[in-house]
Amino acid sequence: MNRRNFLMTPPALALGMVAAPLLSQAAPAILTPASRILPRDGARPRIVICGGGWGGMTAARYLRELIPNADVVLLERNPTFWSGPMSNKWLIDVVSTDFVHHDAQRPANVYGYTRLITEVVGFERDKKQVRTAHGLIDYDFLILSGGIRNAYDAWFGNDQKAIDYTRNHFPSAYIPNAEMLALKQKVQNFKGGTLVMTLPPPPHRCPPSPYERACLIAWHIKKNKIPGKILILDPKPKVAPISMGYQTAFRELYPDIITHVPNARVQEVDPFNKRIKTLAGEFKFDDAILMPPHQAAEMVWQAGLIGTTPDGKPTGWADMHPRLYHARSDDSVYFVGDLMGAISDQFGHYPKSGHVANYIGKIVAQNIAERISGKEVVARLPDNLCYMMVNADPREAISVKFEYEVDAASGKVHQTQIDVDVRTEDLVKEDFVWIKEKFSDFLAI
């Protein structure tokens, strides 16, 4: 599979599922971004979901099941679904492309929601409308589940040349798009030298997964006897989570390949001359996977729903009720997945994981169903579980689990973290059971 195929829409999806709703009777003949599309069907409640990844597809399924007369519309820019979880294993061929890449129209057909391939470009919240590349869509409830944006501006300001160069030459592949294919090519073609990996400052998408990626690329380097080294530039003072498990893997499995540099918060990046300045020193590289800071997807900024710090700066994440997941200033808008804001001053954010996105997708569907049926809304908490492969032969993984409860005294959500630092083959088996269960929950496979 090449980059072109990944971005291409299968003809049935492009013509059948996009054209049908747009050309329904009441729709105008010529569409402009100002056209109102997908006319309402009677008094059915309309829930529009922006972003059809782990969280959005889960919410769509459960909304249809819990509110049988709901008109659920999911807006997604990508024609197909590409999974972040398991994609590190796909980089070194532990799993095939078919394992991480799926038909996204099938679940829409199975569960009975409308999936429109389009770009969400803004909102008219006072009119309860979403602006898309195809036109305006009305809603009663809105779910924002667009994941993250790469905040290259934190490094480069508005220097678009440096941003484009970095994105094209040193992609991080942390957002489901063609960067995944570019990164795989980079790994498979790596001939040696220093490969630098920058980690974003917390909170960021799937905190343990950059270390998993380092281990698996190191395994590939070791297996193929490539004269290469990996330098992990980590803004944190130590590896986290699963600190001991990862440090043991680095030391025992890849002592001559992986170097972890703590407190290496990025200060300046010169992608053209392959240099990085950090608080832990200056580094030159031959190749790199440059992860800039992560923030909530553009759609939260477009909706005007980003939180602010006490001194009035944007937090970068959704401003939301920590237990009910709707916007503080607009309770018809819900947040699901990685774009969510802080939950508690004890631990900050829920881990930005597929597991949590899937869990919150269900909870938000339940909360909207309760509101539509006039029942009391129940505040529910997720959990989190991540398995991280550190060795591909034998296949061994470590893992981390997070549990949440409401502290009776303060009424705040409290987090317990359980690291499993000993790498075992059993954890790899559990990982495959986990992913199959999740895929069957929202991909209908």
Residue closer to ligand FAD, measured from CB, 297 or 427:
297
Residue closer to ligand FAD, measured from CB, 118 or 166:
118
Residue 271 three-state SS: coil
Q: Write down the least CB distance from residue 85 to ligand FAD, Å.
A: 4
Question: For ligand FAD, which stretch binds (CB under 6 A), given 23-31, 46-54, 64-72, 287-295?
Answer: 46-54
Residues between 297 and 336 with contacts to ligand FAD, criterion CB under 6 A: 297-299
Residue 88 found at the interface with ligand FAD (CB under 6 A): yes
355, 431 contact by CB (below 8 A): no
Residue closer to ligand FAD, measured from CB, 284 or 429:
429
Residue 441 found at the interface with ligand FAD (CB under 6 A): no
Residue 85 found at the interface with ligand FAD (CB under 6 A): yes
Which amino acid appears at position 112 of this protein?
G
Q: Which of 45, 53, 245, 382 binds ligand FAD (CB under 6 A)?
A: 53
Q: Which of 129, 198, 209, 344 binds ligand FAD (CB under 6 A)?
A: 209
Q: Which of 75, 130, 143, 306 binds ligand FAD (CB under 6 A)?
A: 75
Residue 200 found at the interface with ligand FAD (CB under 6 A): no
The Cα–Cα gap between 123 and 130 comes to: 5
The alpha carbon dihedral of 39, 104, 368, 143 has a sign of: negative
The Cα–Cα gap between 321 and 123 comes to: 20
Residue closer to ligand FAD, measured from CB, 67 or 117:
117
Q: Write down the least CB distance from residue 281 to ligand FAD, Å.
A: 27
93 to 132: interface string for ligand FAD, x by CB under 6 A: --------------------------xx------------
Q: Which helix (H) or strand (E) holds 287?
A: strand 287-290
Q: What angle do CA 173, 98, 185 make, to 5 degrees?
A: 40
Q: Write down the least CB distance from residue 146 to ligand FAD, Å.
A: 3
Q: Which of 3, 40, 44, 77 binds ligand FAD (CB under 6 A)?
A: 77
The Cα–Cα gap between 348 and 351 comes to: 9
Question: For ligand FAD, which stretch binds (CB under 6 A), given 265-273, 291-299, 308-316, 342-350?
Answer: 291-299
Nearest to 86 by CA among 298, 389, 321, 300: 389
Question: For ligand FAD, which stretch binds (CB under 6 A), given 248-256, 294-302, 318-326, 413-421?
Answer: 294-302
Residues between 332 and 391 with contacts to ligand FAD, criterion CB under 6 A: 337-338, 352-355, 357, 386
Question: For ligand FAD, which stretch binds (CB under 6 A), given 140-148, 156-164, 370-378, 411-419?
Answer: 140-148
Neighbours of 371 (CB within 10 A): 19
The Cα–Cα gap between 290 and 170 comes to: 6
Residue 203 found at the interface with ligand FAD (CB under 6 A): no
Q: In what order do the strands lie in the sheet containing 413-424?
A: 384-392, 395-406, 413-424
The Cα–Cα gap between 61 and 69 comes to: 13
Q: Which of 45, 56, 271, 382 binds ligand FAD (CB under 6 A)?
A: 56
Residue closer to ligand FAD, measured from CB, 276 or 427:
427
Residue 76 found at the interface with ligand FAD (CB under 6 A): yes
Which positions ≥6 away from 84 have C-beta within 8 Å?
54, 174, 176, 205, 206, 209, 354
Residue 87 found at the interface with ligand FAD (CB under 6 A): yes
Residue closer to ligand FAD, measured from CB, 46 or 205:
205
Residues between 258 and 277 with contacts to ligand FAD, criterion CB under 6 A: none
Q: Which of 55, 228, 235, 293 binds ligand FAD (CB under 6 A)?
A: 55
The Cα–Cα gap between 427 and 397 comes to: 5
Neighbours of 235 (CB within 10 A): 20
Q: Residue 199 is encoded by which pair of tokens? A: 């980690």
Q: Which helix (H) or strand (E) holds 78?
A: none
The Cα–Cα gap between 21 and 114 comes to: 8
Residue 62: half-sphere exposure toward Cβ, Cα within 13 Å: 23
Q: Write down the least CB distance from residue 337 to ligand FAD, Å.
A: 2
Neighbours of 439 (CB within 10 A): 20
Question: For ligand FAD, which stretch binds (CB under 6 A), given 80-88, 221-229, 275-283, 286-294?
Answer: 80-88
Nearest to 254 by CA among 280, 291, 285, 216: 216
Ranges of H-type helices in 224-297: 243-253
Residue 223, sorted as left (phi over 0), alpha (psi -120 to 50) or beta, turns out to be alpha
Interaction site with ligand FAD (CB under 6 A): 51-56, 75-78, 84-85, 87-88, 119-120, 145-147, 174, 176, 205-206, 209, 297-299, 337-338, 352-355, 357, 386
